[in-house]
Amino acid sequence: MVIGFLKGKKDIKCPISPDLVKKYKALGFEIIAESGINDAAYFSKDSYNSEVNFIERNEVIAKSDVLFCADPLKDDEYAKIDKKTHFISLLEPYNKPEVNDQMAKYEFKTFSMDMIPRTTLAQSMDVLSSMASVAGYKAVLKASEKLPRYIPMMITAAGSIKPSRVLVIGAGVAGLQAIATARRLGAIVEAFDVRSASKEEVESLGAKFIEVAGATDDTSAGGYAVEQSADFMKRQQEEVQKRAANSDIIITTAQLRGRPAPKLILKETINKMKPGSIIIDLASSTGGNCELSVDEKTIVHNGVTIIGNSNLADEMIQDSSILLSNNIFNFVKVMVKENAIFYDAENEILAKSKI
């Protein structure tokens, strides 16, 4: 059994960390990987103890029984994949439904790890959660670095400085990590979410939960939020506007799976913010929570810096590569039985992630 790893075009994290080599061997795998795949994450070639065969991309495609690439391949590359291969990727079929038809053309099996169900059993394979957690942490560090103010309260001989106020919108995986990080730095933190279940989590981290009554119930949405009514969104925007004027940092993380992110910070809200304040929009790749944010760009409006970045996990590439590698390994484990690859259609994790 051969497992092969390809470099992503956009996602440059390394999907095979040196620590996992022995574990793959124990499952019965020989490991091959595209040359240079380890470089971006600063994993030295030596740390793989010559147990990974680093070879040319097309050779990896042709020889793998299980093949991983974080990004889609080109059509001529798909054509080279053997029909017995299990191809694993992150293809976002909920945002790009055309992927389903495209992959149906091929005989090999395709699995998209962003479709793994949000169950307790699948938590160790949940790439979206791993990356959201890194991004939430990094967002606060990035904002604090740009902020022309202290985060904690400072009492000095020259006078006292008030602690910064951080507003977190969306208290899911990224938001909770942002709250915890901002609290550790000494900020006063407030947070919004439409899922009532998040209130307790926000409060347990020492932040204040801001409630807007009348959110649409999302209990059957598999852990994802649902779209809210126009009336709710209007009331939420008014509440955000009040809090934003007082905030030094706003981190937005609110996402709706398969739909554009809700617009929660309007231009008029930003106009009311203190110059020097920072907004980090982690939802920018799906349209952003902030009306003015531009994906993968930093802009300044009325002295407020707005950073649109849904890919902050790549700015902590070594640890995010370790987490990604662990998620992939835990997923691959499910498709191996007695040292052979086995697709069990009854297995919920495999069935739900298969395209």
Rounded to whole angstroms, how far apart are CA atoms 178 and 184?
10
User: Least distance in Å: CB of 218 to ligand NAD?
Assistant: 7
The two structure tokens encoding residue 132:
């959201």
Q: Which residues of 86-98 are buried (b: 16+ CB within 10 A; e: fewer)?
A: bbbbbbbbeeeee
Q: Identify which of residues 169 and 306 has a Cβ nearer to ligand NAD in the complex.
A: 169
Nearest 10 degrees: Cα torsion 131, 120, 211, 94:
60
The two structure tokens encoding residue 166:
């951080």
With binding defined as CB under 6 A, does residue 94 bind ligand NAD?
Answer: no
User: Least distance in Å: CB of 191 to ligand NAD?
Assistant: 9
Question: How far out from the chain centre does Cα 212 lie?
Answer: 26
With binding defined as CB under 6 A, does residue 250 bind ligand NAD?
Answer: no
Q: Pick the catalytic residue: 11, 126, 193, 281?
A: 126
- 135 closest CA partner among 282, 268, 336: 282
Q: Pick the catalytic residue: 118, 196, 204, 229?
A: 118
Q: Identify which of residues 51 and 217 has a Cβ nearer to ligand NAD in the complex.
A: 217
CB 225 within 8 Å of CB 192: no
Q: Which amino acid type is present at position 148?
A: P
In the list 20, 60, 122, 278, the residue contacting ligand NAD (rule: CB under 6 A) is 122
| Alpha carbon distances (Å) from 17 to 8, 36, 86, 324, 339 | 15, 13, 20, 9, 21
Q: Which amino acid type is present at position 227?
A: E
118 part of the active site: yes
In the list 103, 140, 169, 328, the residue contacting ligand NAD (rule: CB under 6 A) is 169
**Total site size for ligand NAD, rule CB under 6 A:** 32
User: Least distance in Å: CB of 59 to ligand NAD?
Assistant: 36
Residue nearest ligand NAD by beta-carbon distance:
172
Q: Pick the catalytic residue: 224, 235, 295, 318?
A: 224
Q: Which amino acid type is present at position 39?
A: D
Binding residues vs ligand NAD (CB under 6 A): 118-120, 122-123, 126, 128-129, 132, 169-175, 192-195, 198, 223-225, 228, 253-257, 262, 264
- Residues with catalytic annotation? 118, 123, 126, 129, 224
